[in-house]
Amino acid sequence: MAEAAPVNAELLEWPKKDKRRLLHAVYRVGDLDRTIKFYTECFGMKLLRKRDVPEEKYSNAFLGYGPEESHFVVELTYNYGKSSYDIGTGFGHFAIATQDVYKMVEDIKAKGGTVTREPGPVKGGTTVIAFVKDPDGYIFELIQRGATPEPLCQVMLRVGDLERAIKFYEKALGMKLLRKVDKPNYKV
């Protein structure tokens, strides 16, 4: 089994100095209970809270690896009567850090999950990754890393103008560019 890639020390220090953070990502699901079960059993997330809003005809649930006050969480929203959604091409994937990608993929397969890329090193590198699909078609990258306080570690978005998007995230949201990679073969 390949060794977990070390976590960049600078990435662990930066949040200690800058208290801004992303709170959660909201996305739509066709069966809330099915998706909650998948995230808790396959990804090891915890159900943090769940509510039903009948007057607005929706329910939602917040899941993550720790309290909302200190961790990034996913907000799953189910709209009454809607069983599926067109995810589109703008959303790429979430990434979850784990110490053993191979074991996590075995567990996901055993629970009926869909693996879209088997575990193995990234092309031209040593970091072990895999890709899986949740019951609603959202993609998750599993990244082998050492222990981390925040396993839900990346959100990949596709943009039409990379430089413009970087400026927005830096100037409007105060984010810091950590890495920039152009992968022409991955363009949709």
Helix (H, G, I), strand (E, B) or coil at 108: helix
Lowest mean pLDDT among 19-28, 49-58, 67-76, 151-160: 19-28
CA distances from 181 to 19, 114, 169, 186 (A): 26, 27, 16, 11
Written as six digits, the tokens of 147 are 């222990």
Assess whether 141 carries a catalytic annotation.
yes
Mean pLDDT score, 136-140:
94
Instruction: Give which of 37, 66, 56 is closest to 152, Cα–Cα.
Output: 66
pTM of the model: 0.81
Mean pLDDT of 87-96: 87
Residues 23-47 have pLDDT tens digits of 778 889 999 999 999 999 999 999 9
| Separation between Cα atoms, residue 141 and residue 155, nearest integer Å | 10
Res 4 pLDDT > 60: no
Mean pLDDT, residues 92-118 taken together: 95
Nearest to 185 by CA among 124, 126, 96, 132: 124
**Between 89 and 60, whose confidence is greater?**
60
104 pLDDT above the threshold of 80: yes
Length of the chain: 188
Q: Which of 3, 10, 41, 141 is the catalytic position?
A: 141
pLDDT score of 5 more than 60: no
Check if the beta carbon of residue 46 is closer than 8 Å to that of residue 25: no
Distance of CA 166 to the CA centre of its chain: 20
Nearest of 104, 100, 122 to residue 113 by alpha carbon: 104
**Average model confidence (pLDDT) for the chain?**
87
What is the rounded CA–CA span in Å between residue 166 and residue 170?
A: 6
Q: DSSP state, 184?
A: G
Cα 16 to Cα 82: distance, rounded to the nearest angstrom: 41
Q: Which domains does the chain have, with CATH numbers?
A: 9-186 (3.10.180.10)
**Is the model more confident about 89 or about 75?**
75
Residue 2 has pLDDT above 80, yes or no: no
